[in-house]
Amino acid sequence: MENLDQEMNKSFSEPDSSENEKAPTGLLRMLFQHADWRDVVLMALGTSGCFIDGLSVSAMMLVLSRLMNGYASVSSLTLADVNQYALAFVYIAIVVGAGAFLEGFCWGRTAERQSTRMRTKYLKAILRQQVGYFDTTLEASRVTTSISIDTLNIQGILSEKIPNFITNIWMFIAAEITGMYICWRLAIVVVPAMFLLILPGSFYGKQLSSNEEKLQEAYAVAGGIAEQALSSIKTLHSYVGEEKMVKRFSTALGPTLILGIKQGLLKGMVFGSMGIIYAIWALLSWYGSVLVIDKGIKGGDILSAGVCVVYGGFGLGSSFMNIKYFAEASISAAVISEMIDRIPAIDSTDQQGTTTSPVKGELEFKDVDFAYPSRPESLVLRRFNLKVKACQTVGLVGRSGSGKSTVINLLERFYDPIEGEILLDGICIKSLQLNWLRRQMGLVSQEPILFATTIRENILFGKEDATGEEIEEAAKRANAHDFITQLPKGYDTLVGQLGTQMSGGQKQRISIARALLREPKILLLDEATSSLDSHSEKAVQEALTRASVGRTTIIIAHRLSTLRDADLIVVIQSGEVTESGSHDQLIGNTGGPYSVMVQLQKTLVVDGKTLSQSQGTNSTTLVSPAMTTEKTGLVVTSLRHKEGADQQVDEEDSRPSWRHLIQMNAPEWKSALMGCIGALLNGLIQPMLAFFQETIKENIAYGKENATEAEIIQAATLANIHEFISSMKDGYNTYCGERGVQLSGGQKQRIAIARAILKNPAILLLDEATSALDLKSEALVQDALEKTMVGRTCVIVAHRLSTIQRSNRISVIDNGRVIEEGSHDDLLAKGEEGAYFSLFSLQQQASK
Ligand SMILES: Nc1ncnc2c1ncn2[C@@H]1O[C@H](COP(=O)(O)OP(=O)(O)OP(=O)(O)O)[C@@H](O)[C@H]1O
């Protein structure tokens, strides 16, 4: 284990390249690192503008001193002199104006150019990083902060602070020299006094900015809480977590009150210390008068020299103010440069490495050991060996959390093994060119992620230069074309942030189309059809079977029927291959893990009651005459042919949603109202679970405020997740990662179920709550849920009919309407004409 830790440290914790050990970026390097020759010219012009601008006080005072002196001896002042002075002021105005314009324009322009380049490089650098880096070091929020706040900081420095600094410091030098020139006797006495003005200002100014920093930090923490809340708004509403969130928010804001008071005091001191200026004027006027009386110096010279010295002092003070921004900006620049210079161990921009042609698609895992960078102490794969022949279809099965998705993560080189190697056509994938390797694979992941753009663009991610026909063809093969064309904007429909405006099944089909468009040599399907109803699944499954011809296909599935025709089925337990062979071979091994799973699945699908009785649940306890304790199952189908081909469906209607449920139940508004009120106390579990960046314990505790440790453990035990949690080094304090990325799909669902159980709600809403679970876990969780359901109203959305078979009422929904309703037996009695019957028969056939 020590070796393992060392290896992990080498792979993930240490910087990947010696370049990263460079000293923090200095100000000069920061200034010029993103500049091209045009920027150098712009900065040179801008700097000359600053010098001209900084001369304004001196030039004005030189002319003014003469004019004032002229007033003093008014008899010798002619109109021609006055005109000359006035003209001199006009010239000053033009020259200074032009200088100030150059200053503002050139620095502003170059700031924009340099920061745009920096932002682009930064984003490129982030996208280049390996997945493990994000697991350990970087949180998405930090990236967004850097890309917005840090780059804005630097842009502000370039466009404003640097020109300000140069102008002011030059104004100070020029004004003090001019003061000396006009009246050195006065300047020599007053200049030291100026420090009385500058020192307290800069002392309090420093305090002010450090206080401001603390204030910003506190606001950032509070902002982070608000951001988390908004990104998980459904879960938050459902768990009535608003108050808890507001409490956390106001606790985070607590320090700002004290800091705010301190801020006020410091600002007062800064502004108050400006009063010293009047004392300086007192000294100026007294000593100036002495010089006029004793030395016969002209009044105009005294006044102009005094103004030069004082304004010069202000210039120095203002330039000091900029210094703190330079320090801040160089920190920002260091953060950005560090990222830009960072060369990851798995570098997606690396063009090195070999490629093979033609690709056969043979895969081999040789003695692979792997642990995720965020949990180096828990080995997920150990001595993992797997050989896949070219064009074979291989199914991976195993309990939730056994390491199936990890196999895919390693094939895609999102991570590298700690020990052992992975070969493609006999070549270690580490020596293959990374982008080429990834281009050989088409991945449909467990929780398909769509980009916030149109369906067309999302499919195009599979192959950038695909034609319209190719896109449609891929969508047809993924059984997505029909639903897409029924949307008012068809392929140009926007899918929303992360695809939230699409149903789970629609997202899966779009991402299957995306993978198929690529025509990959290796197809990786991680629970690719788990969110589809039986009809769609059958169609997509057939398409995938066709698509798998001539390519190597790896399928992860909990529904074993999906894998029946696979050439090889591999059973994974705790990261090790425990059994492998064809379906028939594995079935022949009675008592083996695979045949046990198949038996369990048959029992579940053919007769839901058998399982539950064998586990001691009395299904009759679910039946209750009162409406509030009814259990309703909803089956969402895609039986469009039943509705007629010409049916117009709007974008909303094509999505099964709770809104439709409400619309459909409009006549039963009283019950609906009761339900809505009750829903404020309800438990909602849906597959796209929103998780905060918190620990497992905190996530479960969302179910109930002030829940005790014992209650949390009890809920976790019922949700069949306690064992996994206890096996973790940090137990219940294990960090879940951004939106739970550090957990497997099934683990996330079970934690969400524990949260719902803890909440003890009046109404339980289960939206495909167990779809990501293996059969054994599902059976156990189902059992726990059924115990939880006793005495409450439950609405269950499920594609696996075994899940809802025992509901008091089952509603079959198609295109936003209930097309059939009744108990399981009632619906089956309708025979072949019935929609439920046909779904049920499909699932039965599949499980045989
Ligand atoms: N990014 C991550 N960081 C740390 N641990 C992780 C990460 N992703 C997964 N794990 C852990 O690795 C183990 C294997 O996860 P994996 O996703 O491979 O399981 P799985 O067999 O696909 O499960 P499921 O059937 O539930 O999807 C789990 O214990 C999980 O908690």
Q: Dump pLDDT digits (tens) for 549-578.
A: 888 999 998 778 778 888 999 999 889 999
C-beta of 734 in contact with ligand 1 (< 6 A): no
What's the confidence (pLDDT) of residue 605? 54
Could you tell me the distance, in angstroms and rounded to a whole number, from the CA of residue 537 to the centre of ligand 1? 25
Strand partners, 573: 576
Ligand 1 mutation target, pool 445, 741, 744, 751, most atoms within 8 A of CB:
744
SS3 774: coil
Return the minimum-mean-pLDDT range out of 673-677, 780-784, 799-803: 673-677
Regarding the beta carbon of 687 and ligand 1, being less than 6 Å apart is answered: no
Residue 632 or residue 79, greater confidence: 79
Written as one string, the DSSP assignment of 228-285 is HHHHTHHHHHHTT-HHHHHHHHHHHHHHHHHHHHHHHHHHHHHHHHTTHHHHHHHHHH
Question: Which atom of ligand 1 sits closest to the CA of residue 403?
Answer: 18
The answer, yes or no, to whether any atom of ligand 1 lies below 6 A from the CB of 772, is: yes
454 DSSP 8-state letter: B
- Please say whether the beta carbons of 446 and 469 come within 8 A: no
- Residue-level pLDDT at 169: 93
Which amino acid appears at position 185 of this protein? R
Q: Is the CB of 380 under 6 A from ligand 1?
A: yes
Ligand 1, atom 8: closest residue by C-alpha: 742
Strands 631-637 and 793-797: parallel
- Nearest-atom index, ligand 1, CA of 558: 25
> Which residue's C-alpha comes closest to atom 17 of ligand 1?
744
| Ligand 1 atom closest to the CA of 575, numbered from 1 | 14
Does residue 371 sit in helix, strand or coil?
A: strand
- Please tell me whether the peptide bond between 24 and the residue prior to it is cis, using omega within 30 degrees of 0: no
Most confident region among 269-273, 521-525, 638-642, 815-819 by mean pLDDT: 521-525
Give yes or no for a contact between 835 and 639, defined as CB atoms under 8 angstroms apart. Answer: yes
62 class by beta-carbon count within 10 Å (0-12 exposed, 13-18 middle, 19+ buried):
middle
Please tell me the predicted confidence (pLDDT) of residue 548.
82
Task: Indicate whether residue 571 lines ligand 1 (CB < 6 A).
Answer: no
- Higher pLDDT pick, 287 / 542: 287
- What pLDDT band is residue 23 in, cutting at 50, 70 and 90? very low
Please tell me the predicted confidence (pLDDT) of residue 55: 94
Q: How far is CA 290 from CA 179, 285, 287, 297, 558, in A?
A: 17, 9, 5, 9, 98
Q: 354 or 148, which is more confident?
A: 354
Share of the chain above pLDDT 90, in %: 22
Half-sphere exposure of 327 (CA within 13 A, CB side): 9
**What are the C-alpha distances in Å from 57 to residues 306, 378, 387?**
12, 69, 81
Residue 650 is predicted with a pLDDT of 35
Collapse the DSSP code of 206 into the 3-class scheme (helix H, G, I; strand E, B; otherwise coil) and give the result.
Answer: helix
Whether 682 lines ligand 1, by a CB cut-off of 6 Å, is no
Q: Ligand 1: which residue has its CA nearest to atom 24?
A: 400
Residue nearest to atom 4 of ligand 1 (CA): 742
Any long-range contacts for 469-475 (C-beta under 8 Å, 24+ apart)? 470/517, 471/513, 471/517, 474/513, 474/514, 474/516, 474/517, 475/509, 475/510, 475/513
How confident is the model at residue 370, as a pLDDT? 94
- Ordered strands of the 363-371 beta sheet: 379-388, 363-371, 419-424, 427-428
Atom of ligand 1 lying closest to residue 375 CA: 4
153 close to ligand 1 (CB < 6 Angstrom): no
Report the range of poorest mean pLDDT among 329-343, 444-458, 631-645.
631-645
Residue of 477, 493, 490, 575 whose CA lies nearest to 528: 477
Nearest C-alpha neighbor of 774 from the set 731, 730, 721, 732 = 721
Q: Tokens representing 577?
A: 């291959």
Ligand 1 mean position, distance from CA 743 (Å) = 5
Q: Which of 791, 822, 829 is nearest to 623 (CA)?
A: 791
Neighbour tally for 625: CB within 10 Å: 7
Report residue 782's pLDDT band, with 50, 70 and 90 as the boundaries: confident
CA distance 477 to 543: 5
Q: Is the CB of 373 under 6 A from ligand 1?
A: no
The predicted structure's pLDDT at residue 305: 92
Residue 407 Cα, ligand 1 centroid: separation in angstroms? 10
Among all chains, which residue has been given the structure tokens 């940090």?
A: 730
Task: Output the CA–CA distances (angstroms, integers) from residue 763 to 238, 631, 682, 756, in the order listed.
Answer: 11, 10, 5, 10
Q: Minimal CA–CA distance to 381: which of 349, 397, 404?
A: 404
Ligand 1 pocket test, candidate residues 406, 409, 693, most atoms within 8 A of CB: 406
User: Cα of 725 to ligand 1 centre, how many Å?
Assistant: 12
Is the separation of the CB atoms in 339 and 223 below 8 Å?
Answer: no
- Pair 475, 481: CB distance under 8 Å: yes
Instruction: Give yes or no for residue 766 having a pLDDT over 70.
Output: yes
The predicted structure's pLDDT at residue 407? 93
Q: Can you name the residues that pair with 680 across neighbouring β-strands?
A: none
Quick check: 627 pLDDT over 50? no
Kindly report the pTM of this predicted structure: 0.67
- Residues 80-102 have a mean pLDDT of 93
Query: Residue 67 corresponds to which tokens in the numbers above?
Result: 């004019």
Query: Average pLDDT for residues 150-155, to the nearest whole number?
Result: 85
Element (H, E) at 219: helix 162-231
pLDDT of residue 180: 92
List the strands of the sheet with 763-767, edge to edge. Answer: 683-685, 763-767, 793-797, 631-637, 809-814, 817-822
Q: Which of the two residues, 48 and 723, has the higher pLDDT score?
A: 48
* pLDDT at position 613 over 70: no
- Going by pLDDT thresholds of 50, 70 and 90, the confidence category of residue 183 is very high
Return the ligand 1 atom nearest residue 131 CA: 1
Which atom from ligand 1 is nearest to the alpha carbon of 724?
29
Q: Which of 572, 689, 747 to mutate to test the pocket of ligand 1 (most atoms within 8 A of CB)?
A: 747
User: Are the beta carbons of 560 and 529 closer than 8 angstroms?
Assistant: no
Q: In one letter, which amino acid is 660? A: H
Protein residue with least CA distance to atom 18, ligand 1: 403
Percentage above 70 pLDDT, the chain? 83
HSE-CB at 74 with a 13 A cutoff on CA atoms is: 1
In sequence order, what are the residues at sequence separation of 6 or more whose Cβ sits closer than 8 angstroms to the Cβ of residue 524? Answer: 408, 411, 412, 441, 442, 443, 444, 553, 554
Rounded distance between C-alpha atoms, residue 387 and residue 315, angstroms: 74
Q: How far is residue 718's CA from residue 783's CA, in Å, rounded to a whole number?
A: 9
The 8-class DSSP code of residue 633 comes to: E
The DSSP letter of residue 350 is -
Q: Which of 8, 380, 397 to mutate to test the pocket of ligand 1 (most atoms within 8 A of CB)?
A: 380
Confidence (pLDDT) at 140: 57
Question: Does the pLDDT at position 315 exceed 50?
Answer: yes
Does ligand 1 lie within 6 Å of residue 130's CB atom?
Answer: no
Query: Confidence class of residue 206 from pLDDT cuts 50, 70 and 90?
Result: confident
CB 400 less than 6 A from any atom of ligand 1: yes
CA distances (Å), origin 357, targets 354, 360, 436, 552, 746: 10, 8, 11, 15, 38
Contact 742, 374 (CB under 8 A): yes
Q: Is 375 in the pocket of ligand 1 (CB under 6 A)?
A: yes
Cα separation, 639 vs 814, whole angstroms: 7
What's residue 132's pLDDT?
A: 77
Indicate whether 509 pLDDT > 60.
yes
pLDDT at 8: 38
Q: Whose CA is nearest to atom 11 of ligand 1?
A: 743
What atom of ligand 1 comes closest to residue 743's alpha carbon? 31
According to DSSP, the β-strands at 427-428 and 568-573 are unpaired
Whose C-alpha lies nearest to ligand 1, atom 7? Answer: 742
Residue 153 neighbours by CB under 8 Å, 6+ apart: 325, 328, 329, 332
Atom of ligand 1 nearest to the CA of 748: 26
Flag whether pLDDT at 842 surpasses 90: no
Q: Is the per-residue pLDDT at 637 higher than 60?
A: no
Q: How many CB atoms lie within 10 A of CB 694?
A: 17
The alpha carbon of 751 and the centre of ligand 1 are apart by a number of angstroms equal to 13
State the residue for tokens 């921004």.
325
Span 294-313, mean pLDDT? 90
pLDDT for 4: 38
Please tell me the distance between residue 338's alpha carbon and the centre of ligand 1 in angstroms: 30
User: Distance, CA 446 to ligand 1 centroid (Å)?
Assistant: 11
Whether 798 and 789 have beta carbons less than 8 Å apart is answered as no
Q: How confident is the model at residue 717 (pLDDT cuts 50, 70, 90)?
A: confident
Identify the pLDDT of residue 630: 45
The yes-or-no verdict on residue 279 having pLDDT over 50 is yes
CA atoms within a 13 Å half-sphere pointing along the CA-CB vector of 718: 23
Q: What is the mean pLDDT of the chain?
A: 79
Q: Whose CA is nearest to atom 5 of ligand 1?
A: 742
Distance, CA 405 to ligand 1 centroid (Å)? 7
pLDDT at 749: 81
Ligand 1 neighbour 361 (Cβ under 6 A)? no
Q: Which of 134, 405, 573 to mutate to test the pocket of ligand 1 (most atoms within 8 A of CB)?
A: 405
For the CA of 774, the nearest atom of ligand 1: 25
Candidates 42, 51, 45, 59; CA nearest to 168 is 51
Q: Is the CB of 720 under 6 A from ligand 1?
A: no
CA of 404 to the centre of ligand 1 (A): 8
CA 9 to chain centre: 25
Q: Tell me the C-alpha to C-alpha distance, in Å, between residue 332 and each of 113, 152, 445, 824.
A: 17, 9, 36, 63
The DSSP letter of residue 769 is T
Ligand 1 centre distance from Cα of residue 768 (Å): 20
Say if residues 458 and 757 touch (Cβ distance below 8 Å): no
Rounded CA separation 627/221 (Å): 45
pLDDT band for 173, please (50, 70, 90 cuts).
very high
State how far the Cα of 575 lies from the Cα of 405, in Å rounded to an integer.
Answer: 11
Nearest to 752 by CA among 796, 679, 692: 692
| pLDDT band, residue 726 (cuts 50/70/90) | confident
pLDDT at 26: 57
Closest-CA residue to 454 (of 504, 506, 481, 489): 489
Residues 249-269: b if buried by 16+ CB within 10 A, e if exposed: beebeebbeebeeebeebeeb
Note the pLDDT of residue 569.
93
R_g over Cα of the chain: 36
ipTM of the complex as predicted: 0.96
| 750 Cβ closer than 6 Å to some ligand 1 atom | no
**Which amino acid, 481?**
H
